[in-house]
Each structure stands twice: as structure tokens, then as C-alpha cells.
Structure 1
Amino acid sequence: MSGSNAWTRSRERMRLFPELFAQCAGEAATYGRCVAATTTGRQELRKDMCAKEFEALKTCFSNAAKRKAK
């Protein structure tokens, strides 16, 4: 595998990100609200505090990428 091919694939995936993100705006907003709500004041975000919301966002991205690949 050459370096240029790896960079080409990475660039292509990054170009798709805004479109995939737009398809998952609801999940992204829900995850963002959870993070914001759990880090009010000086609280730190702890692992798994927003796991359910993150999984929903991750699943949405994955499904959107699969649909785009078709």
C-alpha cells in the first residue's frame, strides 16, 4: 500500500463527513446536549456518561456511510 493511496482514501472520507454529519444532525445534537448537561460548571465528562447518545450517533454515521457507499 503506497502512502499516496492512503492519503487519497482519507481525503475522500473527509470530504464525505459534512454530508454524513447532516444526515445525523438530530443524533449529534442529542449527544452534544448530553455532553453539555453533564459538564456544567467544573464537572468533567466521564467515560460512559453519554454512552447511549454516542452509540446512537455512531450507528447513524455508520448507516449513513453505508448508504453513501452504495
Structure 2
Amino acid sequence: MSGSNVWSRSREKMRLFPGLFAQCADEAAVYGTCVAATTTGKQELRKDLCVKEFEALKTCFTNAVSKKSQ
């Protein structure tokens, strides 16, 4: 049955995630700092407040995934 194969592939991809994400620790820390700084008190996170930091994290993660698949 092809359905079980889908779950096997998904589980394998999820196992790779921590290692790939670790390659972007600096970008993740900068993004997290931005989110924390812009949501002090009861202030809610608004779209695009940390867009620059998010884009840097997204680019790093995309690059890490691309390197892994080569």
C-alpha cells in the first residue's frame, strides 16, 4: 500500500529537521530575539515586524536543505 510509504518518507524528513535547523542557530537566535523584543507585555506579534530576520532564517534553512539533498 502506498500510504505507508508516504508516512515512512515523512518520518525520515522529520528526523533530518533538527540537524538542518541546527545549521541555522545564529539566524534562529536573531529571529527569536526580534520576536521577543517586539512582543513585550501584552503587545501581540504583528505581521512583518521581523520580516528581515525571518527571511534570513528561511534562506538559511532552504540552503541547508538544498545542501543535504545533493
TM tier relative to shorter chain: over 0.9
- Indicate the residue corresponding to 1:67 in structure 2: 67
Kindly tell me the number of residue pairs found equivalent between the two proteins. 70
Question: Displacement, 1:5?
Answer: 2.0
Alpha-carbon distance between aligned partners in 1 of 2:69 and 2:62, rounded to the nearest angstrom: 11
Structure 2: any 5+ residue segments left out of the alignment?
Answer: none
Instruction: Provide the TM-score with structure 2 as the length reference.
Output: 0.92
Over aligned residues, Cα RMSD in angstroms? 1.3
- Indicate the residue corresponding to 1:24 in structure 2: 24
Give CA-to-partner distance per residue, 1:11-36, whole Å, 9 cap, x none. 11110111111100000000000000
Structure 1 ranges of 4+ moved more than 6 A = none
Structure 1: any 5+ residue segments left out of the alignment?
Answer: none
Instruction: Provide the TM-score with structure 1 as the length reference.
Output: 0.92
